Amino acid sequence: MISLLVLFPLIGAAAVLLTARDNPAVIRRVAAWSCGASLLLALLLVFSFDRFAGGVQFEMRRPWVESLGISFHAGLDGISAVMILLHGLVSFSGALVSYSIKERVKEYFVFYLLLVASIYGVFISLDVFFLYLFYEMAVIPMYPLIGIWGSKNKEYATMKLTLFITAGAVLALVGIIAVYQMAGLKSFDLIELQRHFAVQPLPQRFQKWAFPFLVFGFGVIASLWPTHSWSPIGYAAAPSAVSMIHAGVLKKLGPYLILRLALGFMPDGARIWLPVVAALAMVNILYAGYCAMVQKDLKFIIGFSSVSHMGYILLGLACLNEAGLTGAVLLMFSHGVMAASAFSLIGFVYDQTHTRRVDELGGGLARKVPFIAVCFIMTAMASLGLPGFSNFISEILIFFGSWKVFPLFAAIGIFGVLVTSIYLLRTVKQVFYGPQTVSWEGLKDAVTVRARAPYLILIGALLVAGFFPQLLVGRIRSGVEPLVTAVRWSEETRLSSSSTVWKVYGDGGR
Amino acid sequence: MLTLAWLVLFLPLAAAAAILAGTLRRNFLSSALACGAMTVSFLFSCAIFFQLAGRNFEAAESHVVLVSIRNFELEFGVLVDRLSAIMLLIVTGIGGGIFFYSTEYMKDDPGYSRYFAGLSLFAFSMLGIVLSTNFFQIFVFWELVGVSSYLLIGHWYQKNEAADAGKKAFITTRIGDVGFLIGILMVWSLAGGAGKETLNFGVLESLMGDGFSGGMYLTLACLAVFCGVLGKSAQFPLHVWLPDAMEGPTPVSALIHAATMVAAGVYLLARTFFLFVHSSQALFVIACTGCVTALMAALMALVQDDIKKVLAYSTLSQLGYMVMAVGLGSASAGMYHLVTHAFFKALLFLGAGSVIHAIHTQNIWEMGGLLRRLPVTGWTFLIGFLALAGIFPLSGFFSKDEILTLASMRHPVFYLAGTLTAFLTAFYMGRLFFTVFTAEPRREHHPHGEAAVIRIPLLLLAFFSAASGFFGLGHWLHTHHDAEIEWNFWVVSISLIVSLGGIAASYLVYNLRIPLPESLGVVFAPARKVLENKFYLDDFYDALVQKVQQNFAGLCDLFERWVVVEWMVNGTARVTAWSGDMLRRLQTGRIHFYALVFSAGITALVGWWVLAR
Amino acid sequence: MIGLHHYLVLSAILFAAGVYGILSRRNVLLILLSVELMLNAANLSFIAFSRYLGDLGGQVFVFFTMVVAACEVTVGLAVAILLYRTRGSLDTDQADWLKG
């Protein structure tokens, strides 16, 4: 059943291919329905996931290349359950937002559905080979989607984005193959490998050099400083739905894979290297926050803001304790939904005004497009960590988690929230408040249910998760706990004094 | 009782949600929902109060676990005890009055429903703070209060000033919240050191019993928590948002100044006083902050021309008193003044709102002689004025003198500053009252009358401003953490004399318009300039934002553009392109050349393979 | 007695002749011819080894090679014709469109 998540969008893509080119209405509907089907299935899976049992559920396995130990092994644990929910929400809203695409509708939706399917693939795969395969597959449709349907500077942006992500992937591939060889199991199966490493961990010396390959390789897609520069310009150039998927979901693949592969395989390496990652994450938070402060293009502002928020996720990962990791995964969800909402709203305004520049929009739009303004303000509030939205809970968890380990970083992170509120409130004020200086005759608010649905779905999700955090936290926790146990075990048995290069970890607390 | 408390908390939220979801276009329904929810909340609060009284004011709480991860829990609940019961009454009672008042004041506003949704959200946030059982929850509502004030101050968002003021209020208080959250984390660590990682007030209080000593860490933690108070209760140096917040509708100002928001800071101090008593250094800093704020704000109030700004600065100054009282060791004295102040400040603001509503100006020099035309407003304003000035037997007299007595027991500097502030308070309030209500008008007005929904809240508030001194609240709020305050005849009489002196002086200058010697104006000109510029603090902050922050941001952006993108990224691209360009020359396009290189390579490989063996 | 060595030497000579042909000739047809020569040299050694080891696998490969060679000639001649049509000569030095 779980592979249906991938199949629905693929079937949708095939159906779109078979539909006549001159019938865009049908094409759009097919695309929306197939994403919607996956979303419903994702909801069903997430809520039937037994959070008390934990572990991997809904497993399925089909052998593929047995000589190399590759099989199509799919399943969900607490972390990936939350991630498919995120992807379901964002991809469905993205499909609805894509109704505004007018050129080459058919090709657009084929690529879009391929992208959606491969990201589902990443989240459900429990085989490292397929994990990597789907990951690379996701990059391929991204290239034409930005290159053809993008705006301003799209060629440069798409090239840069694709190259960066591929480079990161290659770096990570080195690490993956090294782990595969080192394990000597002749198996790419994630669960088998992890079970093996629990009994017989990889040598510390190996972990010390192999870990950075994985963490910095996947760090590129998590826009870890200084490999973040593809992200703001990439989002700025991409069409709305692609920005949504990219900032919302694809970027979260970075931390997700770090959690899955790097942390899952090499707890020793994690203890050695994650303080470095945490320090870089601080640069992410502050540097990108200040960069966002002087941007004029709305998408650049949100782009830098997403780079800044990835810093919190990475900080949470680096804590290596339950609170931090849970917070990081919850923030992956919350920030994903929030970023998708922000990009879709900007896209809404851009489609009609053809400018995203704060100074050209001229302010006072709240009177003109009240619904969009309210949604944007709520999104901004979510982003700056207002209680009631799940972003707040995740950030709080990250702060509590990191306070024990990196008190200074936690304090900087808290200051970063202030920076976020400064630039977001300023943006809200400049675009939506104040007197209107440009009349924007053609600008119409979203009135139909179809036009409002994406925003309502996304913001509603944030609110539900914010008011009832335990819904997601319970599931995430069941996925995070085995990782923390492995780390703690590694710490207790292998804390030979010379091995930690960065002796910043204080006393316990984990 | 606890069920009632949950209902009290969530009714206003439900009203806000219902307004947003359904009645945005039905003004009457919106206001009915908001006022109805508030009224029911008030009735429930009364019920809670009496039930609690029946149980001899024994604290009770219930909570749900919001987030639970192995040995880490975030709780959300309601705590009912003396402190929260009295605050519930204040918030729902005074708040409810302001809600009803607003139905008239905002009658023709296009954002009427939105306004009531905002008010309900504000009430919900404040009730959340009051009922909090733990630091996490109080922080949640702390932030919600911030955002509600942002929405309400910026209610007339199409005015640049209003939009900016809302933003300023939110961001300034958030600066304090950075410290507050760090403080919470520090308290959490402290609690962990004392035995249990918890944020629950009750558990913390029992952990940090009499013999508890946290050393420097505790002091730092207290000061960090106090940062939150600096923001919300608008203490120096984060007070700058409060005067600007006058851009909001007047009932909102009343709500912010009396029942919600600024009261939150003092309430937090009282709620967590068990922490602060362990650190005399922290208390000293708090007392100094309160003292400076009280004096400074009173001075600035002297030169304001806007009726609401005078009141705003007076709030600042009174908050200074409360914070100083807490700093001097008696949270109950601070809370006492908070309660009485809530009555008379709400009264004054609603009175000012009534004046503005009637004659559509806020400049006091354009008013005059309004006592005859707006009798209810005028006379109730007089009661509020005398209560604020601390004239016997009105409520302000009792609460303020408790603080002054306390100050006299500690250090003469605090006492002198407090007494001077009392004089200034009487003087600037006299200036306001006489100019607006009794002096000869400089311009003729034709105010329309006072509606009943405006008159009734004024009368009720006037009653409580006058009478609440006799309820013995100060004694009733007293806990074993608070310092004992000895009644001191001299302090009381001196302060009374000083206040009367201030009123008399203002009467001479502003009602009788006694000509003052020219030289006086010249002597005070520089001082006046400093005060009119708010001690240049706003300019300083502006410079900080414009110069330091923007330039730093610009620097980051330049770094991003030139170093990261241009050098590192495009540089890599250029190196790749260049090396491709170099290697291109190898590609001659001639098959023979390729074949030659190919076979030479094969030969070399085979040769190497053969020879190596 | 003609043994394995003789076949191998002959095969090597044929192969070298083919390589020389490719390197020295400019005419496409002659180059194609030389390629054929090299393929057949390989075939020869396949067969020789097949006989020597008593393994039919080598002969199977020869058939493969012959099929490939046939295809290659077909494509190669087609290319040669196109080349002649566009450039008017069969000289490979003229065909340097792919010069970097």
What are B363-400's pLDDT values in tens digits? 888 887 788 788 888 888 899 998 888 888 888 888 88
Distance of CA A155 to the CA centre of its chain: 24
- pLDDT of A497 over the 70 cut: no
Q: What is the mean pLDDT of residues C36-50?
A: 92
Q: Which helix (H) or strand (E) holds B76?
A: strand B72-80
CA dihedral B287, B293, B295, B298 (to 10 degrees): -140
What is the biggest distance separating any 2 CA atoms in chain A, rounded to whole angstroms? 70
Does B175 sit within 8 Å of A434, measured CB to CB?
A: no
- What distances in angstroms separate CA B598 from CA B288, B603, B607, C40, one per listed residue? 87, 9, 14, 20
**Is C17's pLDDT higher than 90?**
yes
Nearest Cα of chain B lies from the Cα of A393 at a distance, in angstroms, of 9
Distance, CA of A249 to CA of A315 (rounded, Å): 18
Name every residue whose Cβ is closer than 8 Å to that of residue B505 and which is 6 or more positions away in sequence.
B427, B430
- H or E, element range at B479: none
Is residue C100 domain-resident? no
Q: Say yes or no to pLDDT of B520 above 90.
A: no
Task: Decide if C29 is inside a domain.
Answer: yes
> Could you tell me which of B351, B378, B163 has the C-alpha nearest to residue B254?
B351
Residue A508: the pLDDT is 39
Using one digit for the tens of pLDDT, what is the confidence trace for A390-448? 999 999 999 998 998 888 999 999 999 999 999 999 899 888 888 888 777 777 887 88
**Total length of chain A:** 510
Q: Residue B378's closest CA among B466, B501, B259, B462? A: B462
What CATH number corresponds to the domain at position C66? Answer: 1.10.287.3510
Of residues B530 and A15, more confidently modeled: A15
Minimal Cα distance from A477: which residue of B? B69
Of the two residues B72 and A285, the one the predictor is more confident about is: A285
pLDDT of residue A1: 76
Amino acid A282: pLDDT: 92
Q: Assess whether chains C and A touch, using the rule of 3 or more C-beta pairs within 8 angstroms.
A: no
The verdict on residue C98 lying in a domain is no
* DSSP 8-class letter at B566: I
Is the pLDDT at B82 greater than 90? The verdict is no
B302 confidence band (pLDDT: 50, 70, 90): confident
Q: C100 falls in which pLDDT band (50, 70, 90)?
A: low
- Choose, out of B583, B586, B591, the residue to mutate when testing the contact with C (most C CBs < 10 Å): B591
In a domain, C99, yes or no: no
C72 within a domain of the structure (yes/no): yes
Count of domains in chain C? 1
Examine the pLDDT at B514 and tell me if it is beyond 80. no
Residue with tokens 């014709």: C81
Q: What is the ipTM of this complex?
A: 0.88
Cα torsion through B316, B321, B326, B327, rounded to 10: 90
Asked if A469 is an interface residue toward chain B (Cβ–Cβ < 8 A), one would say yes
Q: Which domain holds residue C9?
A: 4-93
Asked whether residue A197 carries a pLDDT value surpassing 90, the answer given is no
pTM greater than 0.90 (yes/no): no
Name the residue ranges covered by the structural domains of chain A. Answer: 4-498
Q: Where are the beta strands (DSSP E) in B310-469?
A: none
Inter-chain CB proximity A160 and B170 less than 8 Å: no
Tell whether C98 lies on the interface with B, counting CB pairs under 8 A: yes
Tell me what pLDDT residue A500 has: 44
- The mean of the pLDDT values for chain B is 86
| C25 min Cα distance to partner chain B (Å) | 9
> What's the burial of A407, exposed, middle or buried (CB within 10 Å: 0-12/13-18/19+)?
middle
Share of chain A above pLDDT 70, in %: 97
Q: Report the SS3 class of residue A295.
A: coil
Residue C78 pLDDT exceeds 90: yes
| CA nearest to B245, candidates B151, B324, B138, B374 | B151
Q: How confident is the model at residue A506 (pLDDT cuts 50, 70, 90)?
A: very low
Tokens of B204: 């913390």
CA distance C86 to chain B (A): 17
User: Among A18-27, B514-523, B555-564, which stretch is predicted with the lowest mean pLDDT?
Assistant: B514-523
Given a cut of 50, is residue A502 above it in pLDDT? no
Q: Crossing angle of helices B331-359/B307-327, nearest 10°?
A: 180
Q: Does A417 touch chain B (CB under 8 A)?
A: yes
pLDDT over 90 (residue A230): no
CA–chain centroid gap for B585, Å, is 72
| A322 contacts B72? CB cut-off 8 A | yes
Q: Give the span between the Cα atoms of A88 and B264, in whole angstroms.
A: 41
Taking contacts as CB-CB distances below 8 angstroms, the residues of chain B near C100 are 583-589
Q: Does A501 touch chain B (CB under 8 A)?
A: no
The reported pLDDT for the residue numbered B376 is 85
pLDDT for res A494 = 64
Rounded Cα gap, residues A491 and A487, in angstroms: 6
The per-residue pLDDT for range B168-220, each reduced to its tens digit, is 889 888 999 999 999 999 988 888 887 788 888 888 888 887 667 778 888 99
pLDDT level of residue B474 (50, 70, 90 thresholds): confident
B584 to chain C: which residues are within 8 Å by CB?
100
- Quick one: average pLDDT of B397-409? 87
pLDDT for residue B449: 67
Is the model's pLDDT at A339 over the cut of 90? yes
Average pLDDT over residues A211-219: 89
For chain C, list the contacting chains (3+ Cβ pairs, <8 Å): B
Residue of A156, A294, A393, A430 for testing the chain B interface, max B β-carbons within 10 Å? A294
A324 at the B interface (CB within 8 A)? no
Residue of A429, A452, A464, A478 best to disrupt the B interface, most CBs of B under 10 A:
A429
C30 touches chain B (CB under 8 A): no
Q: Are B246 and B282 in contact (CB under 8 A)?
A: no
Q: Determine which of A339-348, B517-526, C74-83 has the lowest per-residue pLDDT on average.
A: B517-526
More confident residue, B564 or C14: C14
Interface test with A, best of B9, B10, B69 (most A CBs within 10 A): B69
Average pLDDT of span A39-51: 88
Q: What's the gap in Å between the CA of B588 and the closest CA on chain C?
A: 5
State whether B588 and C95 contact (CB < 8 Å): no
* Nearest residue to B37 via CA among B60, B18, B57, B64: B18
Q: Which residues on A lie below 8 Å from B65 (Cβ)?
A: 470
